[in-house]
Amino acid sequence: MKSVIQRVSQASVSIDGNIAGRINQGLLVLLCAETADTKATADRLLNKLLKLRIFSDDAGKMNRSVQDVEGGLLIVSQFTLAADLWSGNRPGFSGAAHPKMGEELYDYFVEAARKRHPIVETGTFGANMQVSLVNDGPVTIPIQL
């Protein structure tokens, strides 16, 4: 799975002008399932991001996780993270999971996150979404498992 994690002071996702999900302090998680991914891959990624120490402690060092600061998760599907630009300028997406598999892994990831974390918001898989955020820092971490 590929993901881009952004530490935010606030973030939201809208569909057709309606807010589908919104968080204050926390992590915006852009998530892409790839062809070889499994539920075990999703579990590893969730473990990593819940423990990722990118929030400041009292000394100003990145030493706290989203769980430590009781922040939210806004999880948004984004198959374009699988873009391949090896040849040419038009991206190919053959590395992305087939839509049915991608949706199943996305749903699994969201449900697993909801079981382990109290604040989880989402977009809608496959929808045309508008994401708004205030990147705090800025802190942006790409993760590929």
Identified catalytic residue from 25, 55, 79, 125: 79
Q: Is 80 a catalytic residue?
A: yes
Which of 78, 109, 122, 125 is catalytic? The answer is 78
Catalytic residue status for 6: no
For tokens 């009781």, the residue is 70
Look-up of token digits 């999971």: 97
Rounded CA-CA distance 71/46 in Å is 15
- Active-site residue, from 80, 93, 140, 144: 80
Report whether 28 contacts 8 (CB < 8 A): yes
Number of Cβ within a 10 Å radius of residue 75: 24
The C-alpha atoms of residue 7 and residue 138 are separated, in whole angstroms, by 7
3-state secondary structure of 54: coil
Given a contact cutoff of 8 angstroms between Cβ atoms, the answer to whether 132 and 11 are in contact is yes
**Residue 78 appears among annotated catalytic residues:** yes
Residues assigned a catalytic role: 78-80
